[in-house]
Amino acid sequence: MGIQFDAAARTFTLSTRSTTYQMGLDHLDHLLHLYYGPAIGQGDLAAMYPPADRGFSPNHNADRERRGISPDALPQEYTGCNTGDFRLSCLVVREENGAAGAEWRYASHSIQKGKYALTGLPAAHDEENEAESLCIRMEDSVTGLALELLYGVFERQDIITRAARLVNGGSQTLRLEKAASMCLDLPFGRWDMIHFHGRHAMERRMERTPLMNAIQTVSSTRGASSHHHNPFVILCDRKANEEHGLCYGVMPVYSGSHRTDVEVDQNGLTRIVSGIHDERFSWQLAPGEAFTAPEVILACTENGLTALSQQYHRFIRHNVCRGEFRFARRPVLINNWEATYFDFDSDAIVRIAEKAAALGVEMLVLDDGWFGKRNDDNSGLGDWFVNENKLPGGLSPLIERVNALGMKFGIWVEPEMVSEDSELYRAHPDWALTLPGRAPVMSRNQMVLDMGRPDVVDYLTERLTDLLANNPIAYVKWDMNRNMTDVYSRVLPAERQGEAAHRYMLGVYKLLETLTTRFPHVLFEGCAGGGGRFDAGMLAYFTQIWCSDDTDAIERLVIQHGTSFGYPVSSMGAHVSACPNHQTGRTTPLWTRAVAAMAGTFGYELDLNKLSDEEAAQVKEQIAFFDKHYQLIQNGLYYRLTDPTEEERYAAWQFVDEEQGETLVNLVLTHPEANARPLHVWLRGLAPDALYRVESLDIHGCHAAPQAGLDLAMEGVGKTYSGSTLMHAGYTLPQLAGDYPSVQMYVKRV
């Protein structure tokens, strides 16, 4: 039983396989958070918080005689507003008279089998029939505002989801100025915070710092989850590492402006508040209207960061991603972007496809530039009609030629944007977000469509339906290449302008919901100038997301390492590109580029016709290798063996199948040394008592003279070791030298 209400103790206990989450009602019907952590069963934990009269921590009026009971000191499940808790709040609600206040009291609750759904917002699903849901209804007697706290308990997955719904049950119009999704108070413990920061073409770099006695914020006001701060935060105990230690994850299922604050208060309690960013946000709630704050996915483990990541990987693959591509074999693709940029025609694309097909690539993706007047990035966005100068006769003849090669065809779109120089903008200038009286801020010379407008969403639904219904398109890359400024909607009244940014996201989700439902056999890949919208909200529609515009294999190791903390390998779009690399100018061996891209969905993004015969043969081998290990890589468990913030010499990671029957170890030398130290790895995730045979050890791109130790390592091939030997004694890999060679070791249980 995942959810229990103890009527005598007045506690709610949520139980997953190895965690317990408990809340309790106090004597005034306030809802206190009591515990979230490793499983402890059901005992009432209210006694953990003895009353203590703390100066300057006030009391509810009804508690004025009990000065030890303060909303400012006790762990709260979802804060009120302006009524005695000075820490981070979840809510700011304003009445018509300007007063801002709310004090939540318990009204009712319900427990149901299955997972709650959220209208208009992506949320985890329960196709595998394991979840239970709890709804606790709290009310504020003055405003009549009701708060529905929603909990989804996924027992087997060890995951708890949360969301909040605010319903105006009063008679006046209320204005929400902040409406977080959740608050999580961790009363005891000293924590490190891990977050994933970056910039365009260098996303999700992992950073770990001890929490300060202050508020630390991970946020975006860009109208997108952003390259800059990924909406995912981990708190872990100070000694936690990959294999040990208590860790908590907070992952909003939201793709717009977000904010997660972590505060350490005067008593050492740590509070996390997460949800939509409140800067320039407001939402009018007329009587009877409701507002839903997005879902947050919570995970907890006492077994370290790898276990936490694997919980998220499994949950995203099983319960966030939807549709037939979740577990299906996805095609190895070739994308023409870095091969041609805007400079192509049908024949050029077919030449790329022909070579790719001959080497085993399964799908051709036509990137930006096939539509409107789009010969560079200054024009054409919005005009989703084929540019017949480039593609004579339209898409059909091209798709036929690609299909005739035995390849699928995929296409790029950027529906949420409009170029000033486009038919669409000339016809509908009011469809773009612009501030009255101001020339709009430009970025990549394009503007953002007001996706909060139903007519804009209808137009795009029609255009994209037309594109997908009338062409045999197997895949769509959905891009988004600037952030939101000039946030003002021409169709909202003045008092609702604070809603524009969130309404934009609701419009995007609606469009994606319609298209992914209408075209279930199309594989959708998300993209926002690479990984500028790599989040759980997007993963509800896109089974994979282009990880970064940085295709340099060595930089990718860092980006993919950071991304792996929250997101599975099967969600990370990754390609082999040309050298010198277009972003960094670096040259890496072709095989090493493939090893890096194989830690993602694997594809190519270069003109394969420009490869030498030897390199073309390597591409064939790479695809065969990926094919052979597809299940292990995409559906196996992922282990980080190195941390780029600590180990500069090499990056290593490992895939292990769930049955612990086989593993693939990958290592890339990132910094060759003179008089080099051994490249020794300790394998992870094997069955300690089982015997494993080293089946193969492939050295790639090691053009420098062989180093001592290479032969010895190769002698291990064919030998058998116990799982515990490989995990505790480890294995010394060949002594690589030169520029960025790599090695892959495949080990199988005997």
Closest CA to 431 of 479, 390, 392, 381: 381
Give the chain's largest Cα–Cα span.
86
Of 4 and 583, the one with the shorter C-beta distance to ligand DGJ is: 583
By CB under 6 A, tell whether 368 contacts ligand DGJ: yes
Q: Which of 85, 263, 367, 450 binds ligand DGJ (CB under 6 A)?
A: 367
Cα 582–Cα 583–Cα 585 angle in degrees, nearest 5? 70
Position closest to ligand DGJ via CB:
368
Measured CA to CA, the distance from residue 507 to residue 522 in angstroms comes to 21
How many residues touch ligand DGJ (CB under 6 A)?
A: 11
Q: In the bound complex, what is the minimum distance in angstroms from residue 546's beta carbon to ligand DGJ?
A: 5
Q: Do the beta carbons of residue 563 and residue 279 sit within 8 Å?
A: no
Measured CA to CA, the distance from residue 229 to residue 277 in angstroms comes to 12
Of 155 and 368, the one with the shorter C-beta distance to ligand DGJ is: 368
Q: In the bound complex, what is the minimum distance in angstroms from residue 559's beta carbon to ligand DGJ?
A: 13
Q: Which of 249, 415, 530, 636 binds ligand DGJ (CB under 6 A)?
A: 530
Which positions from 304 to 343 touch ligand DGJ by CB under 6 A, shown as an x/- string? ---------------------------------x------
Both tokens assigned to 516? 């992914």
Q: In the bound complex, what is the minimum distance in angstroms from residue 572's beta carbon to ligand DGJ?
A: 13
Q: Can you tell me which residue has the tokens 């908590």?
A: 248
Q: Which of 148, 549, 550, 662 binds ligand DGJ (CB under 6 A)?
A: 549
Beta strands in 567-608 (DSSP E): 572-573, 575-577, 603-605
By CB under 6 A, tell whether 372 contacts ligand DGJ: no
Of 445 and 707, the one with the shorter C-beta distance to ligand DGJ is: 445
Q: In the bound complex, what is the minimum distance in angstroms from residue 411's beta carbon to ligand DGJ?
A: 11
Of 278 and 368, the one with the shorter C-beta distance to ligand DGJ is: 368
Of 139 and 367, the one with the shorter C-beta distance to ligand DGJ is: 367
Point out the catalytic residue in the list 128, 615, 648, 658. Answer: 615
By CB under 6 A, tell whether 552 contacts ligand DGJ: no
Measured CA to CA, the distance from residue 535 to residue 467 in angstroms comes to 26
Q: Do the beta carbons of residue 278 and residue 193 sit within 8 Å?
A: no
**What's the half-sphere exposure (Cβ side, CA atoms, 13 Å) at 650?**
26
Surface-to-core class of residue 360, CB atoms within 10 Å of its CB (0-12 exposed, 13-18 middle, 19+ buried):
middle
Point out the catalytic residue in the list 338, 499, 535, 605. Answer: 535
By CB under 6 A, tell whether 412 contacts ligand DGJ: yes
Of 21 and 337, the one with the shorter C-beta distance to ligand DGJ is: 337
Of 525 and 657, the one with the shorter C-beta distance to ligand DGJ is: 525
Q: Which stretch binds ligand DGJ (CB under 6 A): 8-16, 526-534, 640-648, 727-735?
A: 526-534
Q: Which of 546, 626, 639, 653 binds ligand DGJ (CB under 6 A)?
A: 546
Which positions from 473 to 512 touch ligand DGJ by CB under 6 A, shown as an x/- string? ------x-x-------------------------------
- Dihedral, 70, 73, 78, 82 alpha carbons, nearest 10: 60
Of 368 and 421, the one with the shorter C-beta distance to ligand DGJ is: 368
Q: Which stretch binds ligand DGJ (CB under 6 A): 299-307, 522-530, 610-618, 674-682?
A: 522-530
Q: State the CB neighbour count (10 A cutoff) for residue 388.
A: 10
Measured CA to CA, the distance from residue 11 to residue 612 in angstroms comes to 69
Q: In the bound complex, what is the minimum distance in angstroms from residue 628's beta carbon to ligand DGJ?
A: 28
Of 452 and 530, the one with the shorter C-beta distance to ligand DGJ is: 530
Measured CA to CA, the distance from residue 700 to residue 590 in angstroms comes to 8
Q: In the bound complex, what is the minimum distance in angstroms from residue 416's beta carbon to ligand DGJ?
A: 13
Of 81 and 201, the one with the shorter C-beta distance to ligand DGJ is: 201
> Could you give the C-alpha distances from 104 to 32, 108, 185, 436, 552, in angstroms and in order?
11, 12, 17, 39, 52
Q: Is the dihedral of CA 621, 627, 631, 633 positive or negative?
A: positive
Q: Do the beta carbons of residue 356 and residue 409 sit within 8 Å?
A: no
Ordered DSSP codes for 501-566: HHHHHHHHHHHHHHHHHH-TTSEEEE-BTTBTT-SHHHHTT-SEEE--S---HHHHHHHHHHHTTT
Q: In the bound complex, what is the minimum distance in angstroms from residue 338's beta carbon to ligand DGJ?
A: 8
Measured CA to CA, the distance from residue 12 to residue 163 in angstroms comes to 16
Q: In the bound complex, what is the minimum distance in angstroms from residue 479's beta carbon to ligand DGJ?
A: 5
By CB under 6 A, tell whether 529 contacts ligand DGJ: yes
> Pairing state of beta strands 258-264 and 3-6?
unpaired
By CB under 6 A, tell whether 198 contacts ligand DGJ: no
Q: In the bound complex, what is the minimum distance in angstroms from residue 575's beta carbon to ligand DGJ?
A: 9
Q: Which stretch binds ligand DGJ (CB under 6 A): 509-517, 525-533, 653-661, 674-682?
A: 525-533
Q: Which stretch binds ligand DGJ (CB under 6 A): 265-273, 524-532, 729-737, 740-748?
A: 524-532
486 is catalytic: no
Measured CA to CA, the distance from residue 154 to residue 15 in angstroms comes to 9
Cα end-to-end distance, the chain, whole Å: 39
Q: Do the beta carbons of residue 503 and residue 292 sit within 8 Å?
A: no
Residues 6+ apart with CB under 8 A from 363: 331, 332, 333, 334, 407, 408, 409, 410, 474, 475
Q: Which of 251, 253, 523, 527 binds ligand DGJ (CB under 6 A)?
A: 527
Helix (H, G, I), strand (E, B) or coil at 383: coil
* For the chain, the helix, strand and coil percentages under 3-state DSSP, each to the nearest 5: 20, 35, 45
By CB under 6 A, tell whether 203 contacts ligand DGJ: no
Q: In the bound complex, what is the minimum distance in angstroms from residue 335's beta carbon to ligand DGJ?
A: 7
Q: In the bound complex, what is the minimum distance in angstroms from residue 670's beta carbon to ligand DGJ?
A: 24
Of 479 and 552, the one with the shorter C-beta distance to ligand DGJ is: 479
By CB under 6 A, tell whether 576 contacts ligand DGJ: no
Measured CA to CA, the distance from residue 248 to residue 37 in angstroms comes to 8
Of 574 and 669, the one with the shorter C-beta distance to ligand DGJ is: 574
**What's the half-sphere exposure (Cβ side, CA atoms, 13 Å) at 78?**
30
By CB under 6 A, tell whether 607 contacts ligand DGJ: no
| Peptide linkage before 580 cis (omega within 30 of 0) | yes
261 is catalytic: no
Q: In the bound complex, what is the minimum distance in angstroms from residue 522's beta carbon to ligand DGJ?
A: 17
Q: Where in the sequence numbering do the catalytic residues fall? A: 535, 615
Binding site for ligand DGJ (CB under 6 A): 337, 367-368, 412, 479, 481, 527, 529-530, 546, 549
